[in-house]
Chain A
Amino acid sequence: AQKVTQAQTEISVVEKEDVTLDCVYETRDTTYYLFWYKQPPSGELVFLIRRNSFDEQNEISGRYSWNFQKSTSSFNFTITASQVVDSAVYFCALSEAIWGSGAGSYQLTFGKGTKLSVIP
């Protein structure tokens, strides 16, 4: 069975600090997909990134970066120079591959989320 663990329930940082949100996953598949979503106070889910298990390159997008470590089953998310607008709940999610197809399952398994508060 697949599982996603976000051990940090809540994090508070002062504006301009860097912050890393941890995500550890469990899966039996060798092909799988990892996601990060942001849920601001307004409630909508905002897609941030999708990675497949064959691509371990770290990715950077502006102030956001992701560190995928297959050896430790982790897909951590770092926000550099945090801003108040980054305050939100962040969810890590996993989908396993549909056997034989290389495609991802439509069922995403979500972690419980990490609530990030950036204090001005």
Chain B
Amino acid sequence: NAGVMQNPRHLVRRRGQEARLRCSPMKGHSHVYWYRQLPEEGLKFMVYLQKENIIDESGMPKERFSAEFPKEGPSILRIQQVVRGDSAAYFCASSLTRDGSGNTIYFGEGSWLTVV
């Protein structure tokens, strides 16, 4: 999992500001996933992206959250007008193929967002 790079590791935002979390998948991986870990909870799936495409965003909150994975550059998870409830750890993961079983999904070290 050391190959999935996330930054920043820690981010503090005031209510109403925007948060941008970046993720570079493991080399050769074109499938990227974002998960959110609320305090005292397990991780919950948010969105699955491939280059330039959102494949499944069924876990994304309907408002203020968006994700992209451009042709060049890292995947970005963007949270607009943050509120205290957005405080959480956001994990990015990547895999070689869509198959989350035969090709294990590798997680990054997480980005901890604190909204004050």
Binding site for B on A (CB under 8 A): 4, 33, 35, 37, 42-47, 50, 52, 91, 93, 95, 97-98, 101, 103-113
User: Please, how many angstroms separate the alpha-carbon atoms of A88 and B67 in the complex?
Assistant: 30
Instruction: State the CA gap A37–B100 with chains docked (Å).
Output: 14
- For chain B, which range describes its interface: under 10, 10 to 19, 20 to 34, or 35 or more residues? 20 to 34
Give the distance in Å from the alpha carbon of A91 to the alpha carbon of B41 in the complex.
10
| Contact assessment for B107 and A43 in the assembled complex, using a CB-CB cutoff below 8 Å | no
**How far apart are B6's CB and chain A's nearest CB, in angstroms?**
9
CB-based contact A43/B33 at 8 Å: no
Interface residues of B in 26-45 (CB under 8 A from A): 31, 33, 35, 40-45
- B42-A107 in contact (CB<8A): no
Contact pattern, B 75-116, Cβ under 8 Å of A = 1, otherwise 0: 000000000000001010001001111101111111010000
| 18 interchain pairs, CB-CB under 8 A | A43-B89, A43-B109, A45-B107, A93-B42, A93-B43, A95-B100, A98-B98, A103-B98, A104-B102, A106-B33, A106-B100, A107-B45, A107-B59, A108-B43, A108-B105, A110-B42, A110-B43, A113-B41
Which of B's residues lie within 8 Å of A, judged by CB? Answer: 1, 31, 33, 35, 40-45, 48, 56, 59, 89, 91, 95, 98-102, 104-110, 112
3 interchain residue pairs of minimum CB distance: A104-B101, A110-B42, A103-B99
Q: Give complex CA distance A56, B105 in Å.
A: 21
Q: Of the candidates A47, A110, A113, which one forms a contact with B106 in the assembled complex, judged by CB atoms under 8 Å apart?
A: A47
* Choice from B42, B89, B98 contacting A106 with Cβ under 8 Å: B98
In the complex, the answer to whether A104 meets B107 with C-beta atoms within 8 Å is: no
In the complex, chain A residues whose CB is within 8 Å of the CB of B95:
106
